[in-house]
Amino acid sequence: MPENPFPETAPTTPARPLRLGVAGPVGVGKSSLIATVCRALAAELEIGVITNDIYTDEDARFLRSAGVLEPERIRAVETGACPHTAIRDDVTANLLAAEDLAADFAPLDVVIIESGGDNLTATFSPALVDAQIFVLDVAGGGDVARKGGPGIGRADLLVVNKTDLAPHVGVDVEQMVADASAAREGRAVIALSRTDEDSVAALRGWLLDVLASYRSGAHVAQDPGPMAPHFHADEDGVGVLHSHADGDHAHAHDHDDAVAR
Ligand SMILES: Nc1nc2c(ncn2[C@@H]2O[C@H](COP(=O)(O)OP(=O)(O)O)[C@@H](O)[C@H]2O)c(=O)[nH]1
Ligand SMILES: [Mg+2]
């Protein structure tokens, strides 16, 4: 083939794997969803996983024991007291882990990054992930989807998880999905249960579509926006109210307002 005289106009094939974030509060089923995705796609995609735990590598160990990937393909980043910082404000540790995985297991198709998940509004920086899933579960209540927040409103995909539990917790899944869709102005919503094959197929199809769009150069990483101000303990066990407004990269904890525990 003759050399392209206009290389800058040539379609660009991304040189690195798609990075996919999975965020949402503790217990909504993020690790289980990642295990489900790995199971559904392991035969056709090369996948690596990074977990973000506060003090442990619990999520990484769960995923290794699920046996869905070679254990070495699952890496843990320990984030300290403020896990959302590592996915939004200072993403260095996660970027290094993603690059190491991509180098060690080249060529990878997808690196999935699970957030530490302590907060309803934590979102990934578009500097870290190309696309992100926000996960809610029906057991958290049918009205959560209506309450909004950056992840619920603007993540690339919202998953309403554990739909098999809906009859037991009195939640109307269709209504919850309709509320979520309204809050998201048409962005994708999937009602998922790991025991419902059709819903797993929908999730699988969504990821393959995003991957195809990423590879074609058409996909643009979106920023759902900064998380809401929130309150939690810092490294010294002192309660602090703080925000992650864009530009707040110093992530200063205002100890004047600190509340001793
Ligand atoms: N009934 C039901 N339980 C689920 C489903 N997915 C996850 N779980 C359970 O929810 C709990 C929390 O799941 P986990 O993946 O650790 O949540 P994470 O903290 O968001 O990573 C575990 O006991 C899982 O077995 C599901 O589709 N249906
Ligand atoms: Mg987890």
User: What is the distance between the alpha carbons of residues 101 and 224, in angstroms, rounded to a whole number?
Assistant: 26
At residue 245, the pLDDT reads 60
The residue with greater pLDDT, 3 or 64, is: 64
Residue 84: predicted pLDDT: 79
Interatomic CA distance for residues 97 and 211, integer angstroms: 20
SS (H, E, C) the chain: CCCCCCHHHCCCCCCCCEEEEEECCCCCCHHHHHHHHHHHHCCCCCEEEEEEECCCCHHHHHHHHHCCCCHHHEEEEECCCCCCHHHHCCCHHHHHHHHHHHHHCCCCCEEEEECCCCCCCCCCCCCCCCEEEEEEEHHHCCCHHHHCCHHHHHCCEEEEECHHHHHHHCCCHHHHHHHHHHHCCCCEEEECCCCCHHHHHHHHHHHHHHHHHHHHCCCCCCCCCCCCCEEEECCCCEEEEECCCCCCCCCCCCHHHCEEC
Ligand 1 atom closest to the Cα of residue 161 is 27
Gap between the Cα atoms of 155 and 163, Å rounded: 20
- What is the rounded average pLDDT of the residues 26-51? 96
- What pLDDT sits at residue 247? 45
Lining ligand 1 with CB less than 6 A are: 24, 26-32, 59, 117, 161-162, 164-165, 193-194
Query: Do 142 and 168 form a contact (C-beta atoms < 8 A)?
Result: no
| Interval between CA 261 and ligand 1 midpoint (Å) | 30
**Residue 143 pLDDT:** 85
Over residues 231-249, the mean pLDDT reads 61
Please give the number of the atom of ligand 1 that sits closest to the Cα of 114: 21
Nearest ligand (C-alpha, residue 35): 1
* pLDDT tens by residue, 99-132: 999 999 999 999 999 998 667 778 999 999 999 9
* pLDDT band at 148; cut points 50, 70, 90: confident
What's the token pair of residue 18? 């798609």
Ligand 1 atom 19 nearest Cα? 27
CATH architecture assigned to 18-216:
3-Layer(aba) Sandwich (3.40)
More confident: 94 or 79: 94
What confidence tier does 7 reach under pLDDT thresholds 50, 70, 90? low
pLDDT surpassing 50 at residue 139: yes
Contact 128, 21 (CB under 8 A): yes
Most informative mutation of 31, 32, 34, 196 for ligand 1 (most atoms within 8 A of CB): 32
The yes-or-no verdict on residue 190 having pLDDT over 90 is: yes
Which atom, in ligand 1's list, is nearest to the CA of 165? 1
- CA 26 – ligand 1 centroid, Å: 9
Closest atom, ligand 1, to C-alpha of 24: 20
